Structure formats: C-alpha cells, structure tokens
Amino acid sequence: MDNIFLTGFMGVGKTSVGRAVARQLGWTYVDTDDVLERIAGKSIASVFAEDGEDAFRLLESQALAEVSGAERQVISTGGGMVKSPANRTLMRESGFVVCLEATPETIVQRLFPNGVGQGTVRPLLRGANGETPLERARVLKAERAEAYSHAEWTVHTDTMAVSDVAQEVIRAARKVGGVDNGPSRGAPDLAAVVRSSAHSCPIFAGTGVIDRLGELCRDVGLTTTAYLISDSNVFYSHGRRAQVALESADIPVHTFVVPAGENSKSLETLELVYQWLAEQRAERGHFVVGLGGGVVGDLAGFAAATFNRGLPLVQAPTSLAAMVDASIGGKTAVNLEAGKNLVGAFHQPRLVVAEVDALQSLPERELASGWAEAIKHGLILDEDLFQTFEEHAEAICRLERPLADDVVRRSMAVKADVVSRDERETLGLRILLNYGHTIGHALEAATAYGELLHGEAVAIGMTAAVRISRWMGLIDDDLVARQDALLKRFNLPTSLPGADRDAVRQAMSVDKKTSAGSIRWVLLEGCGRSTTRNDVPAEIVEDALEAVT
C-alpha cells in the first residue's frame, strides 16, 4: 500500500517534512495528532492532563488504525507511536516507514528557539525533581531507541534543510520502499492534489502553465467542448492565451465575458450565464473554465455546479487571492442584497491551473492583499513557509522567479491539504483557514465592503487574533512581533483607526462561526500551529478590538 509514515521524537521535523513530501508527491498529508484530537474532542495537552498517558496511547493507536486504510498519504506520527509493536506492524503493512532523527540538543533548540523557559513545555518533557527538558529528552530518546530502529530508513535532520530531508525521504521511498507516485506526479509545476469524495484535482502553478491548459485538461479526461467564463479585465490580457491553449489541444472553446467587479457575482449575471450555456447547447459532458479572480471563480463555479445538474469545472485563477485560496476547495457562490455568498454550492474542480505570470499585471495593493492569505497559511499550518516569507519578503514582493512560483505553490498546497482532509467543513479542521477572518469579515461589513480589500481586512483581523492568542497564554510576545513585522513588510495594514466598533461588534455577532452565542476563534499555539477556542473572555476581545481600531 502506497503510504509514507514518518516516525521520530518530537522536534525532529515530522510535520514540516511531511507536508513538503506530500506537496512534492501530490499526496495527502495527515498528522495523527490532528486525528487523535478529533477523536478525543479535545487537545493532546488536555488528554494528558485529564486522562493520563495510557488513555493517550490508546487514542493514538485508534488514530493510526483510522488513517492506515487509505493510500497515497504522507503520515506524521506521534513521537511515542512506535512504542507499540502492534502500531509498528500496522505501519509496515500499510506503507514505508521513515524515522527522522536529531540529537537531544538539536531537538531542544528547535522546541525552545528563544531559550528553555520561553513558551509551552510539551507534557512529556515536564521532568520531575528539577529534570530539565534536555535531560528528559535524552532519557526518552534512549528509551525509544530500539523502537525507532524498526524503521525501514532513517534520516538525520540536524544540519539539513526541510527541503533536503524531504528529497531524501522521497528518494528512499522510491528506491527502497518501492513507492510509485505515478509518472506525472513529480511535475515541477504541480503544487498539490486535492482528494475529494468526487475525484482527485491536480493543482498546477507556475510561469507558462496557462499555455498548457488544453494539455492539462486532456490529462484529467476533459476533452470535449469548453465554456470559458472571464471578466472584462482578465479576458483581454490572458483570455487569448487560454483559448489558444485549449484549441491547440483540439478542444472547442466558447467564451463569455462579464463586467469586472463584485457586482457580477449576482443572480442577474448568473442568469445571463445560464442563458448563454443553453444557447450554446452545453451538455453534461462539456466543461466550464473560470479564468479570473475570485468573482469569476465563484460565478463560473456556481454555474458549473448547477447547470444541467452539474458540469465539470476547471479553475484558472489570475489573482493571488484566488490562486492560494478561492480556487481551491470547491466553494462557489453568488451574492444577494442581504449578504455575500448566501447562494452557493460545494463543487470541486477537476483541475486548477494558476498562471503566476498573471500576477505581474496586478496593482500593488491587490497583490499585497493576496499575500495576506498566503502568510496566513504559514502561520496556521506551515512554519517553514512562514520563515520563507520572513527571509525573502522583499524578493517575494518583487515576484522574483523561481521564488514567487515556489511560495505560491507551497501556499496552495497548505489549502489543498486541509481541503483533502475536511472537504465540507465537517471535521473542524477547515475552520483553521479562517484565522483573522472573524474580525476581518466584521471590518469589511462595518465599512460596507468599500474601504478594505479582503486581504487587508484579514491582515487586521490576524493582528487582533495574534493578540488574543497571546493574552490567552497560547504564544509569547515574539510571535506577535514577528507577525506584525511581516505584515508591514508586505505593505499590509495592521489597524483601521476610527472604525465603528459598534458596527464591528454587530457584524461579529452574526459571524458564521458563532454557535450558541459564542464565537469560535481561530488562534495560534505557535508558528505553524493553530487551534480553535470558544472561551475567549469578552474583555480580551474588547482589548483586541481597541488594538486594531
């Protein structure tokens, strides 16, 4: 069975390496800790505190059993998972097992980058009788050494970059483990593959990929007539390339251009699209291509979801926000006077093709707004991505190649991974993508959607959320400062002085993440680690609002 299991002590890099391996193979990434917390209905720290380690180990085995039945997954396991012979056997039977190694000194440095005593100590590193985390790590590693030795391959990560470790894992999986990721999976422009209940959806991003649109459509079985929907800004700059690419692959194309802007995401415009599709005699075997930003993606997606009870959909996003967020996940909708996105459907695309060269024509403000969503992905789920933004902010803003292509692909992969694991927001994982959105959406509504771009509102919302995270004791001041500094380097706002706080509070009260009167906040537990809380005191929320308005 094609799976890759990553074992090893805490702090060796299983999460960041696992995501990198999954991204390069086009597989699904799974962390058994996430599955365990879903089964338990509470955090790992709470399981240890309330139920003890024995209960935790039982839940750990249940989580492993649940994930082992699927294929084409990269699975990060808990540090003590291998202590159980039954767990080791199940992993060997279900895939290729790689142990990531590091010295206790390296591990403690990674877990406590600001020094021991700064940040949260993991439950198993809380030693008795004055035992330090380093001493405790040495003891635990020695106890588990025999269990870790059962892995089929070992990679020592102390001095290696995440990307290098990922390459070594893939090399070993192919050469030793016999893992076959398919002839097209390693394509350099492949960012990820979304695996949904309906089908798999490969996601491509890079310079020149729009010229391969027809070829890529054929690769996923779309060979009949295409109905390309775009807007008046995008079509005349990129529409001809898309049209030529489809026709060069012997795919007939019909085009429909809507006025640029949010007003086109309406029932009135949708009806015009329906009438056009009917006039062109669109059949269920034909497919729709949405070429443009979020408005076109939503409009074309909803038309595809509903015309003739559903046509296949290809998303070809041209804005950064659409690339890293809106085009992935299958959410489609149009607006009503009563509110945004009130009429819609989940309709997973068959293919996503993001032409990064299209970003060159975006206004600086719109480009910065898109980076807010990409930075958010790093903060909530991918520390290595966030660090890349920190190390290369100015080069990324200038869209330097190949760096820009790479960070776009990596951000898209984070969203794709979450969608693959929680397609319809039923498991609670997909809500993590709403970091910064509670106050961000409220600010958009309070300003009548006319003052802030969506990413700008999200950046301000993230500024509030990171402070709530700090005041709830989840993170330290360093991460607050790092987030603030990075947002400013990307020319994103961190406050909106003079905003109507009463209007913001009113908008928050009807937030879709509100249940039984309590807002479900997405907060940070560290860089690349996030959680949800519905117990944030009202006074902390008020302090956060005061900090950003």
156 a catalytic residue: no
Could you tell me which residues come within 8 angstroms of residue 500 by beta carbon, excluding any fewer than 6 positions away?
Answer: 446
- Write the CA distances from 195 to 78, 169, 508, integer angstroms: 24, 22, 33
Report residue 311 as tokens: 């046509």
Give 344's strand partners: 333
Q: Which of 165, 160, 192 is nearest to 408 (CA)?
A: 192
- Write the CA distances from 232 to 19, 117, 170, 235, 420, integer angstroms: 38, 57, 44, 6, 33
* Calpha distance 453→441 (Å, rounded): 11
Catalytic residue among 14, 72, 441, 467: 441
DSSP string covering 196-215:
-SS-EEEEEEETTGGGGHHH
Q: Which of 313, 349, 312 is nearest to 330 (CA)?
A: 349
DSSP H or E run through 127: none
How many residues are given for the chain?
Answer: 549
398 a catalytic residue: no
Catalytic residue among 19, 241, 350, 437: 437
Burial (CB count <10 Å: 0-12, 13-18, 19+), residue 531: middle
Q: Which of 84, 85, 141, 78 is nearest to 108 (CA)?
A: 141
Catalytic residue among 60, 101, 373, 423: 373
423 a catalytic residue: no
309 a catalytic residue: yes
DSSP string covering 234-267:
TIIIIIHHHHHHHHHTT--EEEEEE-SSGGGSBH
430 a catalytic residue: yes
441 a catalytic residue: yes
CA-angle at 107, arms to 104 and 109, nearest 5°: 110
308 a catalytic residue: no
181 a catalytic residue: no
* Calpha distance 88→150 (Å, rounded): 8
373 a catalytic residue: yes
Catalytic residue among 88, 241, 286, 415: 415
Catalytic residue among 308, 425, 489, 491: 425
Catalytic residue among 129, 279, 309, 364: 309
331 a catalytic residue: yes
Catalytic residue among 454, 467, 470, 520: 454
Catalytic residue among 88, 286, 430, 520: 430
Structure-token match 């009463």, residue found: 502
- Catalytic positions, written as ranges: 309, 331, 373, 415, 425, 430, 434, 437, 441, 454
